[in-house]
Amino acid sequence: QRDKDADAQSKDDADAQESWLVIRQAWCVCVDAQGIIIHVGPLAEAGEIVNGAQKVIRLEKHQMLCPGFIDTHIHAPQYSYTGTATDKPLMSWLQDYTFPAEKALQDVEKAAEVYERIVARTLRCGTTTAMYFGTLHNASSQVLADTCFRLGQRALVGKVSMDRNGQQGYQEADTKSALQDAENFVRNLKQSQAGKAGMALPVLTPRFIPTCTPELLRGLGDLARQYDCNVQSHISESLDEVEFSAALHPGEGSDAILFDAAGLLRKGAVMAHGVHMSDADFALLKARGAAIAHCPLSNFFFAHGYLPVAKLLKQGVLMGLGTDVAGGYSPSMFNAMRSAVLASKAGAIQARTAHLDGDHIIDYRHAFFLATLGGAQALDIDDKVGKLQVGMQFDALILDADAPGTNIDVFPRDSIEDVFQKLCTLGDDRNVIRVFTPVLLQAYMQKRAKLETET
Ligand code: GUN
Ligand code: FE
């Protein structure tokens, strides 16, 4: 794993790349009953712990243990139409597909069905943590957090706030009640089982500048400070969005400036896209400790541009990776990783005339970093997850490059790095053979114990 301390950043490229991946044979990771990692290192040094272990899982050849994927931007209610609605620019896409689909999930039973499916699906794809947009509705959005907890996924969940430019039946009644609902959502989630278990965090979620009055944004900024909450929104995503923002706020500056004026750019604030942000906007984000959720697949459809990821990584802007379902059609972080690499290639092709290639190209290692530790840093939970290290929670995947019926062929002379690159480039849910969070670990141990008493 790449360790993004100040040191690593000042190293030159080749050097930094060396330090990104640590893949060793005959290593082991030991975890206590609460799902906290208590040893990482050579098997030979773990002696006592391994001897006393309740359960030992030995990895087969071509299997690897890696940190769980962290999806920093995904819309749970939009899962019902994922894979369709790929034919419109952002503003009409929202009106024609998104708002009607989200409005329908006021019905808690319908919400429960969609949420059960997306959480099961993303877990199967290896997403152990997701930062979700819910809908306007408090009760349905709480169902999302409860579903994540029940199925064992770590989640940051937002009830969406929007008090202008929605549509009939899908907009808050007024700003005051919007703020009251947002506050109630935060309080209730913290008090819920999922919140108390530390598996779900509430997120203040102004949809984006065009659907939020300045009063609403300021009120949400105050709540973020008061409750020390994560924030999520969309920022400078596409040309039609940037135009709409500017028409509503002539001469007032960019989305970043408007969010900052409301106190919404802070540590743990995750702003999706940022394709049309200026260098000054990025500097502002960095100064505030806010992060970008890079959503490469949906950017291909909506953004009219690309994010210079390599440049931003060099500048130390916090960044994670997002699937942006359903603007992005795939809920899989494997696909998000690949799309990020492809988007960087597209950026480099376009920038060639400007000789900016070096600012653009990223490879599977950057993508893997963004999908794990980068995401944890963006969400401000890197003290808990994002890498396999003593003291961290055991959010982890067993990947198998040689699982039957997948897209990967492993050859005898493949190095361990080759196998890992093949997983990043060609892997999918069939290569994810086990998913752990502390909740899933407990379920796994109970199942094992039951099986063993039965036999
Ligand atoms: N901007 C405002 N809402 C949305 C949304 O649901 N998806 C995307 N991609 N952009 C948005
Ligand atoms: Fe989005």
Residues 203 and 348 occupy one common structural domain:
yes
Show the domain range for 29.
6-66+388-454
d(CA 373, CA 375): 5
| Domain match, 99 and 186 both | yes
- Number of domains present in the structure of the chain: 2
* Dmax (CA) of the chain: 73
Which atom in ligand 1 lies closest to the alpha carbon of residue 237?
10
Give the ligand 1 atom nearest the CA of 298. 9
pLDDT band at 15 (very low <50, low <70, confident <90, very high): very low
pLDDT value, residue 166? 98
Tokens of 59: 């990895």
- Regarding whether 343 and 267 lie in a shared domain, the answer is yes
- End-to-end, the C-alpha distance of the chain in Å comes to 40
How confident is the model over 32-83, as pLDDT tens digits?
Answer: 999 999 999 888 888 888 888 888 899 999 999 999 999 999 999 999 999 9
Least confident of 159-163, 273-277, 326-330, 352-356: 352-356
**For 231, phi and psi rounded to 5 degrees?**
-130, 145
For residues 234-254, average pLDDT? 98
Q: Is residue 245 part of a domain?
A: yes
Mean pLDDT throughout 366-372? 97
Please give the model's pTM, rounded to 2 decimal places. Answer: 0.95
Residue to mutate (ligand 1; options 92, 102, 160, 237; most atoms within 8 A of CB): 237
CATH number of domain containing 432: 2.30.40.10
Q: Which of 337, 341, 357 minimizes the C-alpha distance to 349?
A: 357
pLDDT classification of 23: cutoffs 50, 70, 90: low
Ligand 1 pocket test, pick from 79, 82, 98 with the greatest ligand atom count within 8 Å of Cβ, gives 98
Same domain, 103 and 196: yes
- 164 and 42 both lie in a single domain: no
Residue 5 pLDDT exceeds 60: no
The answer to whether the CB of 75 is under 6 A from ligand 1 is yes
Residue ending a domain, choose from 379, 412, 446: 379
**256 shares a domain with 108:** yes
Residue 1 falls within a domain, yes or no? no
Q: Is 213 in the pocket of ligand 1 (CB under 6 A)?
A: no
Question: What does the alpha-carbon distance between residue 253 and residue 196 come to, in Å, rounded to a whole number?
Answer: 40
Same domain assignment for residues 214 and 91: yes
397 and 327 in one domain?
no
CATH code assigned at 253: 3.20.20.140
Is 274 within the bounds of a domain? yes
Q: Which helix (H) or strand (E) holds 246?
A: helix 239-248
Tokens in use for 268? 């743990």
Predicted pLDDT of residue 26: 75
Q: Which of 345, 289, 336, 347 is nearest to 316 (CA)?
A: 289
Residue 442 lies in a domain: yes
Distance CA 121, CA 143 (A): 17
- Check whether residue 145 and residue 233 sit in a common domain: yes
Q: How many other CB atoms sit within 10 Å of the CB of residue 2? A: 22
115 & 21 share domain: no
Q: Specify whether 37 is located in the same domain as 52.
A: yes
CB 141 within 8 A of CB 158: yes
Continuous segment of H or E residues that includes residue 99: helix 99-103
C-beta separation of 385 from 22 below 8 A: no
Using DSSP's 3-state secondary structure scheme, residue 66 falls into strand
Residue closest via CA to ligand 1's atom 7 equals 327
**Does a structural domain hold residue 62?**
yes
Please say which residue of 353, 379, 405 terminates a domain.
379
Q: What is the pLDDT of residues 89-123, one digit of tens each?
A: 999 999 999 999 999 999 999 999 999 999 999 99
Residue 201 near residue 145 (C-beta atoms within 8 A): no
> Is residue 280 a part of any domain in this protein?
yes
Question: Residue 268, CB half-sphere, CA atoms under 13 Å: how many?
Answer: 20
In this prediction, residue 103 carries a pLDDT of: 98
The pLDDT of 136-150, averaged and rounded, is 98
157 falls in which pLDDT band (50, 70, 90)?
very high
Q: Is residue 311 part of a domain?
A: yes
Cβ atoms of residues 399 and 427 within 8 Å: yes
- Is residue 326 reached through a cis peptide bond, with omega within 30 degrees of 0 on the bond before it? yes
pLDDT tens-digit readout, 386-424: 999 999 999 999 999 999 999 999 999 999 899 999 999
Q: Does residue 173 share a domain with residue 99?
A: yes
Whether 206 maps to a domain, the answer reads yes
Mark 153-178 as b/e (b = at least 16 C-beta within 10 Å). Answer: bbbbbbbbbbbebbeeebbbeebeeb
Residue that terminates a domain, selected from 355, 379, 403: 379
- For residues 274 and 28, the model is more confident at 274
